A and B are shown apart, each in its own frame.
Chain A
Amino acid sequence: MILTVESVSLAFGGVRALQEVSFDVKEHEIRAIIGPNGAGKSSMLNVLNGVYHPQEGRIKFRDKVFEDMDPHEAAVMGIARTFQNIALFKGMSVLDNIMTGRNLRMRCSVLQQALWLGPAKREELEHRRAAEQIIDFLEIQHIRKTPVGRLPYGLQKRVELGRALAAEPALLLLDEPMAGMNLEEKQDMCRFVLDVNAQFGTTIVLIEHDMGVVMDISDRVVVLDYGRKIADGTPDEVRRDQKVIDAYLGVTH
């Protein structure tokens, strides 16, 4: 197990966003968290990422228990993420945005970098190489030097995935990677998610609204509804689960 979530509860004042949610994530798997609007998916991701601190419960990442972890520490530990509403530097080029993902791995001081001394140069070359590999992987060579703000939405999403990958994370959190995309873009994104998982062995936790997509690419699925876990299992098991059907289609009372 790379990650274990043990009866986590999170409340904002009187609003109980998560109630005693437990699940685990195995090494190298693609784990999806799904649920209707307001089910607590994003809150869950923000807990995993150290943005929110749950009032109850425990989270273990590689046998280390989270203790008031902030997002920076999460990143240092090897957890990277993307955002639902894209958080890139719009005025910077694709390449520079991906390079920012290498930030945590840069060791040279500002002075060294300014003087472009031996180690700084070597380091930059090494990071540029890593960034180029990601550009190659995501097939975005043609927009390498294009400012992100000028790109269509689907490509921005891909760049954001690239930046997260640049950190060489052990665990990658994707917040609705397919949201707002057309069918073709969705398929491209699915392919990239699967490729990342296969090629780099990255464990992926993704939140998604679109059931179809999730069922196709994930190994196991957690279903949340009103902050509670209502199902957990393989896509087939979850699809057949009556509670899941009710949550998605609604029940007549």
Chain B
Amino acid sequence: MAEANGTLDTFPKLLMHHARVRGDRPAIREKDLGIWQTWTWREFADEVRALACALAAQGLRRGGHVALVSDNRPRLYAAMCAVQCMGGVPVPLYQDAVAEEMVFPIQNAEIELAFAEDQEQVDKLLEILPRCPTLRRIYYDDARGLRHYKQPQLLAYDDLIAAGRGADPKSVDEEIARGTGADVAGMFFTSGTTAAPKGVVHTHSSLLAPARVAAEMENLGDSDVILAYLPPAWIGQNIFSCAQAFVTGYCICCPESPETVMTDMREIGPTYYFAPPRVLEALLTQVSIRMDDASALKRWMYRKFMGVANRVGGALIDGKPVGPLDRILYWIGDALVYGPLRNVLGMSRVRVGYTAGEAIGPDLFRFYRSIGINLKQLYGSTETAVFVCIQPNGQVRSDTVGPAVPGVELKFSAERELLIRSEGLFREYYKNPDATRTAKDAEGWFHTGDAGFFDADGHVKIIDRVKDVGKLADGTLFAPKYLENKLKFFPYVKEAVCFGHGREKVCAFINIDADALGNWAEKRNMPYSGYTDLASRDEVYDLVRGCVEQVNADLAGEPEIANSQIHRFLILHKELEADDGELTRTRKVRRGFIAEKYQPLLDALYSNASTVHVSAQVRYEDGRTGTYAADLKIRDAKTFAPTAAELRRAA
């Protein structure tokens, strides 16, 4: 590792190192025409070298920005590294962003060259080309549908690399040698929840240092395998599928298509896994739905043994003492239920699994751990190159994110804001010194904007964003995300948006989960035409009211926030969508935007009305807009007297 910390300080140097040391080991895999195809580290390095030659001939200069708009593909990773070889800066953009959202990053970063996966991405880039005068070349991977495109900016990846294959790679090697850890390695645009997106600039060392520490902590090696299925523009994807792979030499697998991820998981059997809570939740929902349809015997077995797993599974994985009878029961359960279940989920070989990004429901978290998957929480952000806190093995809990990773300093400000100082901190926000100064103070502390505290064991507990923690009119603490998460832990609630800051009571918008409720409706022989129809049913309202009231009952037991119980709610007529700006690309609710967009609905919630008329512009996936009109029902939910508080006061 001495060498690794000394001279191997950039991505390209690491790549060439692996090509020498483990040239025949798999570096990256992709399923093509139904068969997994492997690039070894040597092949990967050859591809990158040739591509780097070609890019140099295309006029890529040191420090030049190159956009990449693609799903996870070997060629995407090759292009990223080729850009880094020549001292350029890869700027991955979200591949499901609409064209409009790409304008800012491309203008801001003065992108000259862009890699696009296919016709869809090329179309988006061509659409915004008039507003992005710096963009002079678009390289496309999949030529399908592009045959008749005559734009002079377009060049096929195959043609590009062909030009590089003949060239002498010596100049590339020289450029690689010139690079240092302090050079910029990548730029990641934040999702822009509140303001215009910001380009977070990371150097080679700020990406590689945390990746190295975490890899050592988890003992990752070149025999590990990961499935790269999250958007490459998200820094976590870069850390897990690039930085850590480059540090340890493990194999990255690219799914065939976004729809085949489940099948690909089963075929690949990753040993290292990351999933945000929403993915884990979707998987569990699928399992539950399939179990509901299983035979009576299987349902009985599942119920019986999940009970056992719930009781002792967590203790077993934490290495805590468990009685011999329970051990035997768990062992039988493992053979009959947990093992097959892990196999179906494609997690049979998972050694280390992480989840992060938002609060995870305790039941959801326990489910995965109890069936023997070592799922842990971590905390981090784009600015910190992910790893800030990781739960070490044996110290895993659902309500904290663990202690600081070695090399990371943490403290909380007076406003309960979490501050961080580490090697992994970003260099700056691109061309935004004001924002950089606000986020990173003179002493180098990064202000996360997250509110929380250390618990008794020194684990960090995050409750909400500092700016979102508000107060009701009577002064009660109002943590909207905390309430929304409680609601979302019910399988029937997909999204919730709570309002209450500066008001006398809390009200909520609800999005139902169409999959879970669809199945529920089917069981009751309740025909419905679609999401909107289902969302307006009285039966559904009753079900959701049950969920809301249960949350209220829970809250009644927490004295500080007992008054923030939810008094009224409505079920929205449409699902909240990132395309409509209601969610961020990482699917977090944009509360302020939603409040503004649905102002009449919000007003109705705070009046005595029992219905509200809504007529809304909806944007279809193809970009056209239409209008939708209906009456939405508003329901009251029972609230509970703050029992615990009263008892305490009485005592």
Residues on A lying within 8 angstroms of B by beta carbon are: 128-129, 132-133, 135-137, 139, 141-142, 144, 183-184, 187, 191, 194-195, 198-199
Contacts and interface: CB of A to CB of B under 8 A. Distances in A.
B265 to A, nearest CB: 13
A141 B144 CA distance: 16
A136 B118 CA distance: 13
Contacts of B33: 129, 132-133, 135-136
Nearest to B145: A195
Nearest to A131: B34
Given A139-B257, A198-B147, A132 B621 contact: no
Given A191-B145, A195-B144, A198-B147, A132 B259 contact: no
Contacts of A198: 145, 147-148
B171 interface: no
Given A141-B259, A142-B263, A184-B621, A135 B147 contact: no
Interface centre among B34, B148, B263, by most chain A C-beta atoms within 10 angstroms, is: B34
Contacts of A137: 144
16 contacts: A129-B33, A132-B33, A133-B33, A135-B34, A137-B144, A139-B257, A141-B31, A141-B256, A141-B259, A142-B263, A184-B621, A191-B145, A194-B145, A198-B148, A199-B144, A199-B145
B260 interface: yes
A132 to B, nearest CB: 4
A115 B118 CA distance: 42
Assign chain B's interface to a size class. 10 to 19
Contacts of B148: 198
Nearest to A132: B33
Given A142-B263, A198-B145, A184 B257 contact: no
Interface of B: 31-35, 144-145, 147-148, 256-257, 259-260, 263, 620-622
A128 B34 CA distance: 9
Contacts of B35: 132
Nearest to B262: A142
Nearest to A198: B147
Q: 3 shortest A-B CB distances, which residue pairs? A: A142-B259, A132-B33, A132-B34
Contacts of B260: 141-142
Contacts of A184: 620-622
Nearest to B257: A141
Contacts of A136: 32-33
Contacts of B31: 141
Nearest to B258: A142
B236 to A, nearest CB: 24
Given A129-B33, A142-B259, 17 more contacts: A128-B34, A132-B33, A132-B34, A135-B34, A136-B33, A141-B31, A141-B34, A141-B256, A141-B259, A142-B256, A142-B263, A184-B620, A194-B145, A195-B144, A195-B145, A198-B145, A199-B145
Contacts of A199: 144-145, 147
Contact of A142 (B32, B257, B622): B257
A142 B620 CA distance: 24
A139 B31 CA distance: 13
A99 to B, nearest CB: 12
B612 to A, nearest CB: 28
Contacts of B263: 142
A111 to B, nearest CB: 27
A105 to B, nearest CB: 18
A163 to B, nearest CB: 17
Contacts of B621: 184
Given A139-B257, A199-B144, A144 B34 contact: yes
Nearest to B147: A198
Contacts of B257: 139, 141-142
Nearest to A195: B145
Among B33, B147, B148, B622, the most chain A Cβ lie within 10 Å of the Cβ of: B33
B75 to A, nearest CB: 15
Contacts of A194: 145
Nearest to B146: A198
Contacts of A135: 33-34
A241 B419 CA distance: 73
B147 A187 contact: no
Nearest to A194: B145
A133 B263 CA distance: 19
A195 to B, nearest CB: 6
A132 B256 CA distance: 12
A183 B622 CA distance: 10
Select the residue from A128, A136, A139 with max chain B CB neighbours within 10 A.
A136
